[in-house]
Amino acid sequence: MAPYEPSSDWQFDVPTTGSKRLPPTGRSFEALAHQGYGFEAAIADLIDNSIDARAHNVVVSFLRDTGERGGLDRVVGLLVVDDGDGMDDAGLDTAMTIGGREKYAPGALGRFGAGLKAASLSHADALTVISRTKRSPSTGRRWLTAHAQVDFTCDIVDAKYCQDLVDRYDGVIGWQGTIVRWDQVRAFETITDGQTDRYLNDAIERLETHLGLYLHRFLSRDDFHIDIVVEDVHTREELDHRGVEPIDPFGYRIPGRAGFPRTYVAPVVGAGDIPLTAHIWPPKSPLVAYRGIGPLSERQGFYLYRNERLVQAGGWNGTRSPEGHLALARIAVDLPSASNDVFSLTVKKDGVQVTPAFARGLEQAVDPASGHTFAAYLQEAGITYREAARRRTEVRRKEMIPPGKGIDPKVKRALRDELPQLEGEEPITFAWAKLDTPDGRDSGELLFTIDHKERRVVLNKDYRQAFNGDRHGGSNDAPVLKSLLYLMLNEIFQKERVWANQTDKIALWNSVLVAAARAELDRTDS
């Protein structure tokens, strides 16, 4: 290399005189743990790895110590368990190395080689990964931020413990799979005494919505399932169990305007022709997929997918500002699989940065079949919104206290679709138990009692068989009975106290429902 000679001309290449290696220090781990991952986005990133490992079943388990063996009721950790391909020692070392994986298969959701570590350490001070394949035994590694920040030391987990934990979840893992374990989760350690139930309900509701939305294309398949459970860390009893349902942001029944959805093609320099599938939602839709996934001003615009995974849910990417009259406009865009300089995915997979070339492409976007322009679509979306706003207001259903633990997630989704919810209210929960009747009444005369203060409906477990038959009764069983009681009792729970006429209603309902349950049991026995 010729030595640099001063010149008045601009140097298009910066002159160098050699190179030296500057490895990262332990503090880079601290930077990794401050990537700004939200809790739900972090869990979704872990499940991306499960999908890449061809998992069919994923279980997110909140580990709870109820305090019945002494101490406080608290959440002590979290696991993500899958039945994917698993990893051997070498594969696990690569997975636990920051940026360790350099190549991904076509269609993979992983990209930067940092998601597992960044997502986990943003929330937990201890990350353990245990895995096994069909051909290799269980193995494990653990990052402790306190050690990693000093010298990047990663612990090797005891092989017997690895196998013990795999055996504990053999209902999911079988011959192969992976367990991601979070300990010292910072949010869990801030839960105050007596607030564990509320924290878990709120956290699971948000997680259920996030996963249902961002992974909805995977969840709509018959061979992929995500369950969220709360597990008693001592007894292994499931204290709550919810199956995650897909939330399709384009899942309306009838479009808001005839002729839609319509696909436009935008010629984007540097990325090629980009199809834009434009939808107009029906005005004033009560569906969760419209109203229940965030503020409408934030959910209008582009829904960007990368390899079937939603990576941006709404927003105009700088091409225009959110406007109230565009609340019905949503556009699905599948990003090109080939690398390009126009679309840049964030590390957290929660947004896409675009260059001005995208905006120029939108200006030229048309429906090839009709010549209808993308600009005309935006006008029609706005007209649809304004026309609906001028119409007489439709009948509005009364707001309800939200459904809580004990009601099947599918029923919860239907209730939220059909009924406006009272925000910030403690939910109505359901549980089976031996009824306590201190006034000397025969508990067999009651199908249920209510705890008005705690917003809890207690069902008489002596009648559980009438509603489950020979099926195993889980925490979300008897959906028809619980749905009816939810609708019947909601108004009573909204009152400050239970009045005499309401007490009489409860007595009436108990009398009729007990007779019905006994009739059902008689039919079963005969």
pLDDT tens string 412-425: 888 887 888 888 88
Q: What is the mean pLDDT of the chain?
A: 89
Residue 361: predicted pLDDT: 96
- With 90 as the cut, is the pLDDT of residue 522 above it? no
Averaged pLDDT for residues 452-479: 86
More confident residue, 267 or 419: 267
Confidence of residue 29 (pLDDT cuts 50, 70, 90): low
Q: Which secondary structure element, helix H or strand E, spans residue 79, and what is its range? A: strand 74-82
- With 90 as the cut, is the pLDDT of residue 270 above it? yes
Residue 150: predicted pLDDT: 67
Averaged pLDDT for residues 62-80: 91
Residue 369: predicted pLDDT: 93
The burial of 250, by beta-carbon neighbours within 10 Å (0-12 exposed, 13-18 middle, 19 or more buried), is given as middle
- With 90 as the cut, is the pLDDT of residue 286 above it? no
Q: For 356-370, write each residue's pLDDT tens digit.
A: 999 999 999 999 999
- With 70 as the cut, is the pLDDT of residue 517 above it? yes
Q: For 102-126, write each residue's pLDDT tens digit.
A: 566 666 776 656 778 889 989 999 9
| Alpha-carbon gap, residue 184 to 41, rounded angstroms | 19
Nearest to 338 by CA among 264, 238, 283, 268: 268
Q: For 156-209, write each residue's pLDDT tens digit.
A: 999 999 999 999 999 899 899 999 999 999 999 999 888 998 899 899 999 999
Residue 275: predicted pLDDT: 97
Residue 177: predicted pLDDT: 96
Residue 112: predicted pLDDT: 58
Averaged pLDDT for residues 500-525: 89
More confident residue, 496 or 138: 138
Q: For 375-431, write each residue's pLDDT tens digit.
A: 999 999 999 999 998 876 666 788 999 998 889 888 888 888 788 888 888 999 999
| Alpha-carbon gap, residue 128 to 333, rounded angstroms | 36
More confident residue, 7 or 170: 170
Task: Say if strands 225-232 and 57-65 run parallel, antiparallel, or are unpaired.
Answer: parallel
Residue 32: predicted pLDDT: 67
Residue 324: predicted pLDDT: 92
Nearest to 35 by CA among 101, 114, 138, 108: 114
Cβ 63 vs Cβ 228: under 8 Å: no
Residue 102: predicted pLDDT: 53
* Sheet arrangement for strand 155-156: 155-156, 139-144, 124-132, 177-185, 74-82, 57-65, 225-232, 238-243
Percent of the chain with pLDDT over 70: 92
Give CA torsion, residues 278, 284, 289, 295, to 10 deg: 90
- With 70 as the cut, is the pLDDT of residue 455 above it? yes
| CB-CB neighbours of 389 under 10 Å | 12
Q: For 301-346, write each residue's pLDDT tens digit.
A: 999 999 999 999 999 999 999 999 999 999 999 999 888 889 988 8
Q: For 196-227, write each residue's pLDDT tens digit.
A: 988 998 999 999 999 999 999 999 999 999 99
pTM of the predicted model, to two decimals?
0.81
Residue 4: predicted pLDDT: 81
| Alpha-carbon gap, residue 327 to 338, rounded angstroms | 32
Residue 376: predicted pLDDT: 97
Query: Coil, helix or strand for 504?
Result: helix
